[in-house]
Amino acid sequence: MRRHCENLQKFGVPVLICVNKFPTDTAAEYALVQEKCSDFPNVFGCVLGDHWAKGSAGTEDLANAALDIIASGGTYRPLYDHASLTLTEKIETIATEIYRANHVAYSAEALTTLKSLQQDYGHFPVCIAKTQYSFSDDPSKLNAASDHTLSVSQVHLKAGAEFVVVQCGNIMTMPAFLTGMLPLAWQPFFQQQERNSFSYSIASFTTTTATALGPLQFGYNPIESRPTRFTKQKTNPFLPCFPKTRCHYQL
């Protein structure tokens, strides 16, 4: 908790801590937690939240404290300037300032990708994907790990969202819509095209599976540059379809 408060201080915003209240807790435990939290840096206040039992009525103290903290002001500032730093400098700033790493190690693949992205996408911010169990990329290093090496394994461009995803250690990210959320019956018909950004094209469809129907409204195929819709065919009633679902294939 102290580390999180220290990190938020670097963004210029005060911290409000809410301690969840449960029937098995004691008054002495609440007093101890509130005392310790109040000593953390940049903490505006520490209140109890009884919303588990009372719903919104149990958050009145939290709401009033939040209004007080809003009225007190505070000047948000980003951790780094997007325009002036390179992608690697942004990664290393987060690694040292937030994760307390003393070194960043890049795989050959990650370095190649960063180099190729720098010219056209170097002004994008970076989003680091890593284990949630540690400040390092090693889930076994619990608590507030420091003086470690952050290992960058892969880098992916998200051109539509305008940021660069940096994967650290052995971490699995959420799959994109068409590969992760699309039913398994459809997935073999899509392939990933690696261009300036990631997109998906129809690899092959037959009349027994699904049909790409002219200029219709449900999706967009960036390869053919025209809207695309998929329908279930009578010859294959088990093929799932998403009527009224709008798909955008470029990530």
At residue 184, the pLDDT reads 55
132 and 193 co-located in one domain = no
Q: What CATH number does the domain containing 161 carry?
A: 3.10.410.10
* Residue with the larger pLDDT of the pair 234 and 10: 10
Q: Which of 123, 148, 168 is the last residue of a domain?
A: 168
163 and 215 co-located in one domain = no
160 and 209 co-located in one domain = no
Tell me whether residue 11 is in a domain.
yes
Tell me whether residue 138 is in a domain.
yes
* Residue with the larger pLDDT of the pair 37 and 193: 37
156 and 196 co-located in one domain = no
CB-based contact 113:122 (threshold 8 Å) = no
At residue 166, the pLDDT reads 96
Cα 182 from Cα 13, distance rounded (Å):
40
CB-based contact 47:62 (threshold 8 Å) = yes
Which band of pLDDT confidence, cut at 50, 70 and 90, is reported for residue 145? very high
* Distance, CA of 89 to chain centre: 20
Average pLDDT over residues 76-96: 94
pLDDT tens readout for residues 3-17: 999 999 999 888 999
102 and 145 co-located in one domain = yes
Q: Which of 113, 141, 168 is the last residue of a domain?
A: 168
pLDDT tens readout for residues 31-67: 999 999 988 988 989 999 999 899 999 999 999 999 9
126 and 107 co-located in one domain = yes
Average pLDDT, the chain: 77
Token pair 């700033």 is found at: 93
Token pair 């960036």 is found at: 222
Tell me whether residue 93 is in a domain.
yes
pLDDT tens readout for residues 99-122: 999 999 999 999 999 999 999 999
Which band of pLDDT confidence, cut at 50, 70 and 90, is reported for residue 80? very high
187 and 211 co-located in one domain = yes
Range of the domain at 52: 2-71
Find which of 58-62, 174-178, 207-211, 226-230 is predicted with most confidence, using mean pLDDT.
58-62
